[in-house]
């Protein structure tokens, strides 16, 4: 779009690139007895693109699916041309259970839901999440370098300045997958959803790097994918630290300018 750019006392009319933001409705279709039912489960504001990965990552993070085989098909919903690519239906394989009522009650991923931290962590435990294994270690010098490597892959951010990013890296610093989105949790869902559909989960020997802060819901998604180390450019919340510590995850924050803080799990940092 065209903007009025004010610089050094001058006003110049120029074109400026904006990151696209549109709603995505996630629907789940499953077999109940002899009938197939469909239920809307979430609406998120996201950057269009890689929508199937986003939905797969969301469903995995919420404990609805455990493997790529649980999802029979991911499709855009036809019929409404205006919203055709803003609605994704995830068809579960017959035999995969889905409790729509429990899903509606399951609001603990929202940082504004108002329930206490202890109940939030217990809710994550109820999804089947367990302690992370020991043994995976990464040099501290590499952790300090990963945010710059993440930035190198943020092509849309370079043009717009308006996107978050998430990336999965290996112990040697090589990049597995990177995605951008207006929502930092959406970027994480796209990355982990890509890994789910590629059948490379659990991510037991990889590092998840996020461009923003480390919130409770991002820790939850990483734990469900069995990510042992999470690195955030920004700060973690207190509940994020509590959750990571509960499941023995290594949580790194303020990773920038060559330094970082380790909030828990320091034994994995060489």
The secondary structure of residue 33, as a DSSP letter, is T
Q: Which of 77, 113, 129, 264 is catalytic?
A: 113
Strand partners, 269: 138
Our answer to whether residue 113 is catalytic in this structure is: yes
pLDDT tens-digit profile of 155-201?
777 677 768 999 999 999 999 999 999 888 999 999 999 999 999 99
Q: What is the structure's pLDDT at 7?
A: 79
What is the band of 4 on the pLDDT scale with cuts at 50, 70, 90? confident
Is a pLDDT exceeding 60 seen at residue 114? no
pTM: 0.85
CATH code where residue 84 lies: 3.10.20.10
Domain identity same for 144 and 258: yes
- How many structural domains comprise the chain? 2
> For residue 125, which phi and psi values (nearest 5 degrees)?
-60, -35
Token couple for 36? 């197939």
Among the listed residues 258, 11, 250, the one whose alpha carbon sits nearest the alpha carbon of residue 136: 250
Q: How confident is the model at residue 106 (pLDDT cuts 50, 70, 90)?
A: low
**CATH number of the structural domain spanning residue 174:** 3.40.140.10
| Phi, psi for residue 40 in degrees, rounded to 5 | -70, 130
Domain region containing 177: 140-268
- In sequence order, the 6+-apart residues with CB closer than 8 A to the CB of 101 are none
Instruction: Please compute, for residue 186, the number of CA atoms within 13 A of its CA located in the half-sphere on the CB side.
Output: 23
CA end-to-end distance (rounded Å), the chain:
47
Which pLDDT belongs to residue 180?
92
- The set of residues, in sequence order, having a beta carbon less than 8 Å from that of 119 and lying 6+ positions away, is 108
Q: What is the DSSP letter of 112?
A: T
DSSP tag of 84? G
- Do 81 and 116 have their domain in common? yes
5 inside domain: no
Domain presence at residue 15: no
- Is-contact 254 235, C-beta < 8 A? yes
Q: Where are the beta strands (DSSP E) in 68-190?
A: 71-76, 87-92, 164-170, 175-181
- Share of residues in the chain with pLDDT > 70 (%): 91
pLDDT tens digits for range 221-270: 999 999 999 999 999 988 889 899 999 999 999 998 888 999 999 999 99
Same domain, 27 and 122: yes
């Amino acid at each position: 779009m065209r903007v009025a750019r004010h610089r050094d006392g001058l006003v110049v009319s120029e074109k400026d690139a904006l990151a696209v933001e549109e709603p995505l409705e996630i629907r789940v279709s499953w077999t109940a007895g002899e009938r197939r039912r469909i239920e809307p489960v979430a609406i998120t504001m996201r950057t269009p693109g890689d929508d199937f990965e986003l939905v797969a990552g969301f469903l995995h993070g919420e404990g609805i699916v455990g493997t790529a085989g649980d999802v029979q098909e991911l499709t855009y919903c036809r019929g409404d041309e205006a919203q055709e690519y803003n609605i994704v239906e995830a068809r579960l394989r017959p035999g995969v259970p889905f409790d729509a009522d429990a899903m509606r009650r399951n609001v603990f991923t929202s940082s504004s839901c108002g329930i206490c931290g202890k109940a939030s962590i217990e809710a994550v435990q109820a999804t089947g999440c367990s302690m992370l294994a020991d043994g995976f270690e990464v040099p501290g010098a590499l952790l300090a370098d990963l945010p710059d490597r993440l930035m190198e892959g943020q092509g849309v951010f370079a043009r717009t300045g308006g996107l978050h990013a998430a990336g999965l890296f290996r112990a040697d610093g090589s990049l597995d997958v990177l995605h951008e989105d207006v929502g930092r949790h959406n970027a994480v869902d796209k990355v982990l959803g890509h890994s789910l559909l590629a059948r490379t989960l659990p991510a037991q020997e990889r590092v998840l790097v996020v461009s923003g802060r480390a919130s409770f819901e991002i820790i939850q998604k990483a734990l469900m994918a069995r990510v042992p180390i999470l690195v955030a450019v920004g700060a973690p919340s207190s509940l994020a630290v509590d959750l990571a510590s509960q499941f023995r995850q290594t949580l790194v924050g303020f990773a920038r300018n060559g330094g970082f803080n380790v909030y828990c799990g320091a034994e994995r940092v060489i």
